[in-house]
Structure 1
Amino acid sequence: MARLAVEIANGDEPGEERGEMLRQHGVAEPDAGALAVLVPALRAAVEAAVQGGPLEPVNVLLERYPPVIRVDGHDGPGTAHLHFAPNGEDPVTWLGRNCAAALAHVVCGDPAVTLGRCHAAGCGRFYVDDSRNRTRRFCSNACASRTTVAAYRARRKAAG
C-alpha cells in the first residue's frame, strides 16, 4: 500500500500492480477529477513519512479517510491478512483509507517499509526503498545516472 501511496503522490499513471489490486478488491479505477481531491493530503502525508515527521499530515489523512480494519482471507485458506477498507468501496475512499493506514505504519517505524525522496537535482519524486540495506537515494536508474554523469563532468571541468 505504501507503494500505491507513492505512485499516487507522484502523479504517476495507474500501473499494472495498482490495477490488479483494485480488481482483486472490487474497486474501480477512480477518474482523475475524483482522485484530485485525495492527492494534496496524500502528498503531504508521504512527505511527512519520508522525513519521519511531522505527524499531522498523516493524522489529517487518517481523519479524512479513517481505516475500517478487518481480517480477510480472500486469497484462500491460510492467507488471512488485514484490510483497511471494505471491498467494493468508492475508489477514492478505498485508496484514502488504505494509503492512510500504510503511511501511519511507516511513520510509526514499520521496518519493512522505507520511503525516500529522490536526491537528483530537479526531481523530487518519492520512492519505496526496497534495497537490501535501505540506502537508495534515487527514484530511478535514470536519475542516478544523470547525477553520476553531472558529478563526473563537474570534476573534469574543475581539474582543468
Structure 2
Amino acid sequence: MNFIGYRSDALGAAVALVNEVGAGSGGEAQAGDEQADRMRSVLVAHGYLAEQAPDSVEPALRAWARRLRTVFDVTEVEEAAVAVNALLADVRVEPHLSNHDGQAFHLHYTPPEADVVDRLRTSTAFALAMLVSEYGVDRHGRCAAEGCARVYADTSRNAARRYCSSACANRSAVAAHRARARASGSGVR
C-alpha cells in the first residue's frame, strides 16, 4: 500500500528508522561509523537519494526517529493525532512536482532546495498522518512479542499484523503453545 503517492516508501522508512535507533536493533550500541552507514542504508532501501545526504546525517535521522516513535508508542487515536500533528508542525511543506534524476514527474512535499533529511522528515510525517487518519491506531504500534522494542506498520489487506517480524510472531506462537501445554499438563517443552 502506498499511503502518500510518493516515490519513496515513507511509511517503511519511518518504521526502519525507529527500529534502527530503538533498542530492538542494537542501534544504540553500534559504533558511530557503523550506525551512520546503517542510517544511510535506511535512506537507500526506502527510495531516498542517500548520496545527497550530508556526511553528518546520522544525528538528524536519530533525532527524527525518536520523534516518529511517539506515534508508534500511543494506543489511543487521539494521542496518535497529537503525536502526528506535532510532527507535521515541525516540517516545512511546499508541495511541487519534480522530475529530478531522470524520473517521471512526481510529487514532493518539500521545496526544491530541501535536502534529503528534510524530504524524509516531511514524507514520513505525511505517511504517518495518512495511516492514522485512515486507520486510527489499528495498523501500527509496538511489537506484541514479549521483550521486543521494535515497531511495525501493517499495510496488509487483512490488517492482522501485531509483530515487527515473522521471527517475533513465531517466537510468540511457540511460547503461547508451550504455556497452553504446561497449563493442560501435557508436558510439551
Deviation at 1:8, TM superposition (A): 1.1
Aligned to 2:11: 2
Q: Deviations over 1:16-56 (max 9, x none)?
A: 563152228944575322323323322113445x7533212
TM-score, structure 1 as length reference = 0.77
Asked if the contact 1:120/1:143 (under 8 Å) is kept, the reply is: yes
Deviation at 1:69, TM superposition (A): 1.3
The answer to whether the aligner puts 1:45 opposite 2:54 as a matched pair is no
* Partner Cα separation in structure 2 for residue 142 and residue 44 of structure 1: 24
Look up the SS of the partner of 2:152 in the other structure: strand
The answer to whether the aligner puts 1:134 opposite 2:162 as a matched pair is no
* Partner Cα separation in structure 2 for residue 24 and residue 88 of structure 1: 15
The answer to whether the aligner puts 1:58 opposite 2:84 as a matched pair is yes
* Partner Cα separation in structure 1 for residue 92 and residue 112 of structure 2: 15
Percentage of matched positions with identical amino acids = 35
TM-score, structure 2 as length reference = 0.67
* Partner Cα separation in structure 2 for residue 142 and residue 85 of structure 1: 37
* Partner Cα separation in structure 1 for residue 15 and residue 55 of structure 2: 16
Aligned counterpart in structure 2 of residue 147 of structure 1, from 172, 185, 189: 172
Aligned to 2:28: none
Q: Deviations over 1:132-152 (max 9, x none)?
A: 312112111110111111111
The count of aligned residue pairs is 157
5+ residue gaps, structure 2, are: 1-9, 26-37
* Partner Cα separation in structure 1 for residue 18 and residue 101 of structure 2: 28
Q: Comparing both structures, which one devotes a greater share of its residues to helix?
A: 2
Asked if the contact 2:17/2:62 (under 8 Å) is kept, the reply is: no
The aligned amino acid for 2:94 is V
* Partner Cα separation in structure 1 for residue 132 and residue 144 of structure 2: 20
Look up the SS of the partner of 1:85 in the other structure: coil
* Partner Cα separation in structure 1 for residue 112 and residue 170 of structure 2: 41
